[in-house]
Amino acid sequence: MRAVSLPEVPYGATAVRPGWTELPAAVRSAVAARLGAPVTSATSAGGGFTRAFAAVLQTGSGERVFVKAAPLDDPTAHWYAREAALTDALPAAVRAARPRWTLAEAGYFVLCLDAVDGHVPALPWSPADLDAALDAWSVAAGALARPAPGLVAAGLPPLSEIAAEEFAWWTEIAAGREPLPHAPAWVAARIGELAALERALPGSVTGDGMLHGDLRVDNVLIDEAGAAWLCDWAWPCLGAPWFDTVTLLVSAYASGLDADARLAPWQAPDEGVDAALAALGGYWLVRAAGGTGSASPHSRQHHRFSGEQALAWLADRRGWARGPG
């Protein structure tokens, strides 16, 4: 069995967020007024890479909701507003928390969603949790094959355009316009091949279906019945649904599981999958080399771990020799 690789920090503990009492008093009062009862407890969401407020709130009447909040002048507020519009328009078959209401108060945007009683899957993935996540995404992808007008109106950029604009790092490195980031030693001899693969990605991912756009382990919750819920619908796009499956399976590959076998039902083109792994690997490693940023002190390790595992999976698929490091 292949060795298991784990990130430096569990994905359920990557977030650095303000607590409930750190929100402005006017925001807390407005939320309590909308809920119709005082907030008696707040359990912060441990996963994610933003510094915005996100917590399960419980009121004196026993109601539980999931609330996100960010200053109106922070880009995160725009993401939350977009998430509210998109999740409100999702088909019933998509297992995702639905919005209850939004409000703007004291310079903050607040999104209230149904609370999901669940946990972020632990790595290494258990086969049961991974199969539940893939099943939830398969059902969602089927329901989103022809997105409804409400979803289209919220804005769904083509994945092919995103790929052309954001996933060209090996090409930049090969041309000497970008330095080679810290990467496994074998990568340096494959720059040209990686660049050629990533250039093929835009043409491989065209499609009319709606993708989640950010499908990774910490955007999945497993409930008490073992069913998976898909969270954080802020970055959907139009394209081939197998791309999201690949992004999710990078952590399954790292967990020592047979990622290719689980990808097989999606009928993804081999060259397209390799292009996705090359492009994602370059994107993530360049992001890791850029430092931690302001979102989370753990964002760098997330990008490095993801990039290295994407490239390791690619090397295995193509039979490339990999030395240590």
Q: Specify the 3-state DSSP secondary structure of 220.
A: strand
For position 261, what pLDDT does the model report? Answer: 98
Contact 62, 56 (CB under 8 A): no
For position 13, what pLDDT does the model report? Answer: 73
**Number of separate domains in the chain:** 2
On whether both 125 and 97 belong to a single domain, the answer is: no
The CATH number linked to 33 is 3.30.200.20
Residue 5 lies in a domain: no
Max distance between CA atoms of the chain, in angstroms, equals 63
For position 293, what pLDDT does the model report? Answer: 52
On whether both 113 and 123 belong to a single domain, the answer is: no
Other residues' Cβ atoms within 10 Å of the Cβ of residue 276: 29
Paired tokens of 183: 């990467």
For position 15, what pLDDT does the model report? Answer: 76
On whether both 219 and 171 belong to a single domain, the answer is: yes
Contact 208, 325 (CB under 8 A): no
Residue 3 lies in a domain: no
Spans of the chain, pLDDT less than 50:
292, 294, 325
Q: What is the dihedral of CA 123, 121, 131, 8, to 10 degrees?
A: -20
For position 48, what pLDDT does the model report? Answer: 79
Residue 143's domain spans which residues? 119-318
The CATH number linked to 151 is 3.90.1200.10
Residue 324 lies in a domain: no
Scan for tokens 């994945």, then name that residue: 159
Q: Whole-prediction pTM value?
A: 0.94
End-of-domain residue from the set 70, 94, 117 = 117
Q: What are the backbone angles phi and psi of residue 174, rounded to the nearest 5°? A: -60, -35
On whether both 68 and 178 belong to a single domain, the answer is: no
| CA 317 from centroid of its chain's CA atoms | 24
Cβ contacts of residue 208 below 8 Å, gap of 6+? 145, 146, 238
CA 126/CA 115 separation, integer angstroms: 24
On whether both 27 and 127 belong to a single domain, the answer is: no
Contact 305, 8 (CB under 8 A): yes
